Structure 1
Amino acid sequence: MTRPHIHTIHHQPISTQHYGWDNSLPPQLRAAPGDTLDFAIQDASGGQINEHSTAADVLNFDFSRTNPVNGPVYIEGAEPGDVLSVEVLDFQESPGSGSSSAWGWTGILPGFGLLAADFPNPWLHISRYDREKVVFTPEITLPTRPFTGTIGLAPAEPGLHSVVPPRRVGGNLDIHDLTRGAKLYLPVEVPGALFSVGDTHACQGDGEVCGTAVETAMNVQLKFGLLKGANYSAPRFELPGSSVATVGSKGYYATTGLGPDLYVAAQDAIRAMIDHLGREYRLDAPLAYALCSVAVDLKISEIVDAPNWVVSAYLPRGIFG
């Protein structure tokens, strides 16, 4: 008779980090399907930004230290062709020094972001947040909706791979719906799956257009499962109904971009939204761009009426006090 596995809750947080995906990295822990793990995640700057930082710190950013991920974790029984399920259980924010509230940063990094050519100068903004709300400015409050921007498995291809682009096995997905109660499914390409996670955010708009959300350190608890032989071609996820934040009670204002190129259309929609935020709310351009990154949702409204497609940018009016 085979003795059944007793599911384990690992209370010691996993804090060991690595930079980039590499299937030759030794696992920091071995876990089994059904186990719950706790990860102590650093912000995406790798500690280079603190709550007292300025734009000069963004200018001197060391990109080799960005987006550290915690792990890897070896999942017993996981083989290529299987699918690892990752259930998001909870988050705990990291309070700032001398403050009961947590903090996060949003930055414009030269050469990075949807409108990099429009915003060539470094810029940094610090927000305060708790479990319920993010105070972006005294006049702008967003719902706290934490998630892990980078979450994935080691690829089969050998060598070190950048953590920046998303991949078939996950990685820097930046899907803001992967909050409490969500379940993510990741294709396994190597024995043990070799799972890692990082890049926690307090909130983000769909698109993360300036390249950063409200970046912050957090602890996150995840529960693992395994679908044998499922052979998914790319990540999938499911959400409980309660995971969708109700930020639209006061309606939305939307701008659009149209044309044969979705990327250019997205740029045009965000440029129009920055113009609206400047005219209607007197926000300067960098602050408006950052607000688009943390609160505005990009949507593909139409992609069948050739030769032009439509991208819409949705601003929830309820974030303004």
Structure 2
Amino acid sequence: MSGTTLQPGTGRIDGAHYLPTRVEEIHWGWLPTASTPPVLSVQDGDTVTIDTLSHEGVLADQGRDPVAYLAQFGVTDVLRDAIDVAASDLANGADDGPHVVTGPIAVRGARAGDVLRVDVQGLEYRVPYGFVSNRHGYGALAGEFPEDDHSLATREVDALVSNGTVSHYSWITRSAGRDVGRISAGGGRHVEFGLAPFLGLMGVAPDTEEAVPSVPPGEHGGNIDIKHTGIGATLYLPVLVDEAKFYAGDPHFAQGNGEVALTALEASLRATVRLSVVPAADASSVVGALRNPVVETSTHWIPTGMDTDLDEAMRKATRNAITFLHTRFGVPRSVALAYLSATGDFEVSQVVDAVQGVHCMIPKVDWRAWS
């Protein structure tokens, strides 16, 4: 990738509609709900290009000053929307989620009981860098990491961390024909890893007027952090309120299943999605009887399970995978369980978002004769 920064309104806009991240329209740490007015309204089947904004570099423990924070890494071309959000009077305290949530988008014709189909058509890097952060009290090893409140291992490239947060800066470059992240490992050494961008947070408005935090995922989708939702993937979400009210955020350049440190490689993306309504009467042909998020790729169907307890999330993912096979294809439930035990791969989506996630990889090739 190039070292350029994709500022709001610049570069190619592939969608029929364009939605930047504007201070007066976003939600910082909270999700749109049933009573939230839409910031954009589109027809069923329309495409929308959304400039999503990463929270890393904007948060209070990084100084809430992205210009100063990024300067220590040699970054001088800072996203204008990052500067605007940081300089705004929007609150973002210890009880708020970190995510900058863009939306909601009303999809005309969507009704509660329908399914919203979200086709991810494009993901462009907006910046040539990202961060992986570990904060006290969070992550798979909360209480064990960060091990060093002074962040000595990363001090050579990150001199402005506070409260014991360790934010690993990652350069984005090309190596051996692929886009890679490059993190300092001390002593002049670096570790590289491949990139696979996706939006960690895509969802519909929950059917409530109460405040809903952005961190825990649920039936509405939200912060599901499933790395398989990249370009070419489809996310099916149950419509819970009329017009669906779709939103997006938490952009990632890469993530391992589990997201064990707390964050993935967090970095801003320009996403183009197609938003289509699957009427309730037709929903069984795509998701069976499920009323929670389902991902589809070119090779797999991916039912999900979520709970505050990882064991229960696993059980829910198993039940949902059985329900998917039984209600979409008519396979007996006992056969579905046997099949899943033989070949279904259950992966931990993430263990860091209060509500933990497990998803099941069902190979499409096994069901070609049933379609």
User: 1:1-321 counterparts in 2 under 5 A?
Assistant: 9-15=15-21, 16-19=25-28, 20-21=30-31, 22-45=33-56, 47-48=58-59, 49=62, 50-52=69-71, 62-63=93-94, 64=96, 66-95=98-127, 102-120=128-146, 121-130=164-173, 132-137=179-184, 139-229=190-280, 230=283, 232-241=290-299, 299=347
Are 2:57 and 2:70, in contact at CA under 8 Å, matched by a contact in 1?
no
Q: Which amino acid aligns with 2:55?
A: A
TM-score, structure 2 as length reference: 0.57
How far residue 139 of structure 1 moved from its aligned partner, in angstroms, is 3.9
**CA 1:299–1:73 in 2, change beyond 3 Å: closer, same or farther?**
closer
Match of 1:57 in 2: none
Q: How many angstroms apart in 2 are the aligned matches of 1:70 and 1:12?
A: 12
CA RMSD of aligned residues (A): 2.8
Paired with 2:57 and 2:103, the residues of 1 have a C-alpha distance of: 15
Q: Percent identity?
A: 31
Compute the displacement of 1:132 (Å). 2.0
Secondary structure of 1:27's aligned partner: coil
Aligned-residue offset at 1:144: 1.1
TM superposition shift of 1:211: 1.0
Q: Distance in 1 between matches of 2:129 and 2:169?
A: 7
Deviation at 1:232, TM superposition (A): 3.3
Question: What is the letter of the counterpart of residue 118 of structure 1?
Answer: E
The 2-side partners of 1:299 and 1:45 are apart by 26
Alpha-carbon distance, 1:51 to partner:
3.2
In the superposition, the TM-score normalised over structure 1's length comes to 0.66
More moved, 188-197 vs 17-26: 17-26
Q: Distance in 2 between matches of 1:232 and 1:81?
A: 11
Q: Unmatched 5+ residue regions in structure 2?
A: 1-13, 63-68, 74-91, 147-163, 284-288, 301-308, 315-344, 349-357, 359-371
Q: Aligned with 1:51: secondary structure?
A: helix
Query: Which amino acid is the alignment partner of residue 127 of structure 1?
Result: S
SS in 2 for 1:211: coil
How far apart, in 1, do the equivalents of 2:228 and 2:20 lie? 23
Contact preservation (8 Å) 1:40, 1:219: yes
Shift of 1:135: 1.8
Distance 1:76 1:197 in 2: 18
Relative to structure 1, is the Cα distance of residues 188 and 46 closer, same or farther in structure 2, using a 3 angstrom cutoff? farther
Deviation for aligned residue 1:66: 1.4
* Amino acid of the structure 1 residue aligned with 2:70: E
User: Mind listing any 5+ residue stretches in structure 1 that lack a counterpart?
Assistant: 1-7, 55-60, 96-101, 243-260, 267-296, 301-310, 312-321
Contact 1:201 1:214 survives alignment (8 Å): yes
Aligned length: 232
- CA change 1:227–1:192 in 2 (3 A) is same
Measured after TM superposition, the shift of residue 262 of structure 1 is 5.4
Distance 1:262 1:43 in 2: 27
| Inter-partner Cα distance in structure 2 for 1:77 and 1:111 | 43
Q: CA deviation at 1:237?
A: 1.0
Q: CA distance change for structure 1 residues 134 and 228 in 2, over 3 Å: closer, same or farther?
A: same
Secondary structure (helix, strand or coil) at the match of 2:254 reads: coil
**Alignment partners' CA distance in 2, 1:240 and 1:196:** 24
Aligned mates of 1:136, 1:177 — CA distance in 2: 23
| Distance in 1 between residues matched to 2:18 and 2:295, nearest whole Å | 27
C-alpha distance after superposition, 1:103-127 (max 9, x if no partner): 1011111111111111154211000
